[in-house]
Structure formats: C-alpha cells, structure tokens
Amino acid sequence: MKPDFSKSKNGLLPAIIQDATTKTVLMLGYMNESTYTATLETGKVTFFSRSRHTIWVKGEKSGNFLNLVSLTTDCDNDTLLVRVHPEGPVCHTGTDSCWGESNQSDYGFLSELEQSIRNRKAEPRDNSYISQLYSKGINKIAQKVGEEAVEMVIEAKDSDADLFLNESADLLFHYLILLQAKGFQLQDVVEILKKRNTKL
C-alpha cells in the first residue's frame, strides 16, 4: 500500500533501512513523495535531507549506494521499511551501520557456538573437548563427523524423537568444528545454498 505522506506536516516519513540479507538495521532516513518515487524508479535509495532541505541519493558521493530490494509501509502507512543490498559502509563515519554495528549474518545461537569453537581453536584449554579434538588433527575430526552422521541415520529409522534430535545436535556440533578446522564457517556454506536456491 502506498504511504500516506499527508500524515506528516512537512510531507516527510521516516524510512528504516535494513539489510535484506543480514536483517541488520543500517540507518534511518526520511522520504517525501518525490524521493519515494525516485527510489522505486531508479532502484537506488533516495532521501530528503532535513538539514540541507534537498534531495540526495545515498552513495552519490561515496559510491556506497543502497540498492533497493523492497519497500513497504507499516500498519498506519506512515513509516517505511526499506530493505536493501548495501554497497560498502552505510554510515558517513565508515561503519557498516549508523549504530556502529557490524553488518554480518547472524545465526543466533549457532553464531555464538561458532565463536566458542573459534576461541577454543585459537586458545586451547586442557579441559575443553573442542581443544582436545583439534589437537588430534583433521582426520580425527572428520572421522567424528562421520560417526555422528551414521548414528543420526540409525536413529532416523527408529521412532525415538529425543534420540534422533540429540544425534542431530551432535552431528551439527561436530560439523561446525570441522568447518573451522578447514578454515571455513557456516556463512560460507550458506552462500553456496543461496546460489543453489535459484535452481530449485
């Protein structure tokens, strides 16, 4: 639904800019009807500057454009959610977002788990299972993934959901360790899946 610019005295509505992939909120700008239309027509996010009282295309000077993916309004039609693919840093200070946050994909707890695995690889501890597994080398880690995969398949044939889920967790955990051992992370696999998704 088209936004209602008449709800604002100056004809400006707030536009929340969000990375379409990572879901990170990057910045807040303002649009009037002209910049809204320009954004849709050009595919480059265009704002109205309240301080300079002028229209400006984000990235016109820096080259850090915001490429439009989608533009929607909220339930009251007076706030815009603009999903984009950014080219480079968004903030004028050089950071990914205007809140200083890194614009990287976050898989919630899995990202935290990856970081814990990374820490134990970089800073081994005697009482750490992950550190002990890394000390045994890539062959042992790969073997462990194979063992967990077989155990999960066996449980998949039975009807005990609890055992199946626990073996699935073991497999995922050891797979993340193997990825780190090979110098990769979950994001690398996700990128490949995204490319394949276009062929499904």
Domain boundaries, given as residue ranges, for the chain: 5-86, 109-198
CATH topology of domain 109-198: Helix Hairpins (1.10.287)
| pLDDT digit string, tens, across residues 149-162 | 999 999 999 999 99
Residue recorded with tokens 């005295």: 9
List phi, psi (to 5°) of 132: -65, -40
What DSSP assignment string belongs to 100-134? --------THHHHHHHHHHHHHHS--TT-HHHHHH
**Residue 63 one-letter amino acid:** G
Q: Are the C-beta atoms of residues 128 and 55 closer than 8 Å to each other?
A: no
Query: How would you classify the pairing of strands 54-57 and 66-73?
Result: unpaired
Q: Which among 22, 21, 14, 48 is positioned nearest to 34, based on CA atoms?
A: 48
Distance between CA 65 and CA 101 in Å, rounded?
18
| pLDDT digit string, tens, across residues 71-96 | 999 999 999 999 999 999 999 999 99
Predicted TM-score (pTM) of this structure: 0.67
| pLDDT digit string, tens, across residues 11-51 | 999 999 999 988 999 999 999 999 999 999 999 999 999 99
Domain 5-86 architecture: Roll (3.10)
